[in-house]
Amino acid sequence: MKNILIVLILWTVFGCRHKKVQNGNAKTNENPEEANPVKERFAKMEAEALKEQYAGIFTKKDDSTELFQIRSTGVSTLPIQQAAEIFLKNLSASQIERTTFTIDDDEWRKWCNVDNGIYDRQGVSLKELTDNQKKNAFGLIQESLSAKGLQLSRDIMKTDQTLKELNNGSLDYDEELYFLTIMGKPSSTEPWGWQLDGHHLVINYFILGDQVVMSPVFMGGEPIITTSGKYRGNTIFQDEQNMGLALMQSLESENQKEATITTFKTGNNNLAEANKDNLTLNYEGIPVSKFSDEQRQKLLDLIYLYISNIREGHDKVKMREVMEHIDDTWFSWVGNTSENAVFYYRIHSPVVLIEFDHQRVVGVPNADDGKPSRNHIHTVVRTPNGNDYGKDLLRQHKERHHNKN
């Protein structure tokens, strides 16, 4: 069991959902007297969040509501559609029932990065699938992501196996406790998508024609560098960490000061994690318009680290969108800039929100000193101004073709 400090940290930082246990891989509380109070708190948090109709992440003054338009990208999504059809075709009837939802189901918004001891997930887990079904599941993920994105996803899953080993085989952790759901019916003309939900790895993937919206995306891990066990040597997020620090160090002293929200990094700083779909978040730090050409390129390279997890071709589509708004992009920082610093940074524009955060230790036993660590990292990628989960594109599609709001 996690100690009280860990519970308080998780309660403070995370919002997540509580779903019915729908397969034998999740821990259950058959005896009502054994109900988990932490889960109950999280359930209440989720319920409160879902009372609000989805709006999206906006600044107080709001940006344009016409940033996202239905258009052809020229990049085929047919391989993704076919992979999803194969995946579904080979599921059992009961698995299909647990895995498929309508395109506008609240399932989109019911995700959380915390471990399975706190959060029971919907859909089918990789762990319960047969070898062939598992191959089909990874086939869908592989067709949707780049080779880099697929490898990072697998490496994040490995960190959960390491936590299992470090916590005496705890059922809270497992490299295969990652759950897939499908929203809508795979189609070349109608909107549909899929969600992968698990500890430190959440991907929401919306498709309409040949357009793709991959957000919200949560990718994190602990430990960041694995020093023992089955996956010794597994290492993640070093480029995201080091390139972010290098960008900040490249700024002139005056611009560093302007970018810095605070030099004190005493806790967890991510703002756009679970249950934050309607977050109001103003631009902070320094506008990229003040960057030199070299600094601007460093920023674009950093952004691309996150965008390049999506399927090749669609990464370029998204980067063109980012470039169109580069002068309206802001960069902000929490922490110092020493070589071994722990820090948080945010990249915020009308069309992309990226967060990187060194977090307090939670899962590694006897390692929590109350301070953020380079051995626990959270990253978030969002689409501000109403298009997380492809919601704005879905709205436009319904208005055009289904006469619905």
- Reported as a single tens digit per residue, the pLDDT across 20-73 is 333 333 333 344 446 788 878 877 888 899 999 999 999 987 666 689 999 999
Report the distance separating Cα 296 and Cα 288, nearest Å. 7
Residue 290 has pLDDT above 60, yes or no: yes
Report the distance separating Cα 138 and Cα 141, nearest Å. 5
Closest CA to 243 of 156, 311, 331: 331
The mean pLDDT of the chain is 91
CA 133 to chain centre: 24
Q: How much is the pLDDT for 34?
A: 65
Residue 84 has pLDDT above 70, yes or no: yes
Q: Which residues contact 230 (CB under 8 A, 6 or more apart)?
A: 158, 161, 162, 165
Q: How much is the pLDDT for 32?
A: 42
SS3 345: strand
Q: How much is the pLDDT for 64?
A: 65
Q: How much is the pLDDT for 63?
A: 63
SS3 10: helix
According to DSSP, residue 225 is labeled B
Query: Which run of H or E residues covers position 84?
Result: helix 78-89
Residue 8 has pLDDT above 50, yes or no: no
Task: Compute the average pLDDT of residues 159-176.
Answer: 97
Q: How much is the pLDDT for 27?
A: 36
Report the distance separating Cα 46 and Cα 299, nearest Å. 34
Q: How much is the pLDDT for 339?
A: 95
Q: How much is the pLDDT for 36?
A: 83
Residue 174 has pLDDT above 50, yes or no: yes
Report the distance separating Cα 214 and Cα 384, nearest Å. 12
Confidence of residue 199 (pLDDT cuts 50, 70, 90): very high
Task: Compute the average pLDDT of residues 321-328.
Answer: 96
Beta bridge partners of 202: 197, 218
Strand boundaries in 15-119, DSSP class E: 100-101
Beta bridge partners of 345: 333, 356
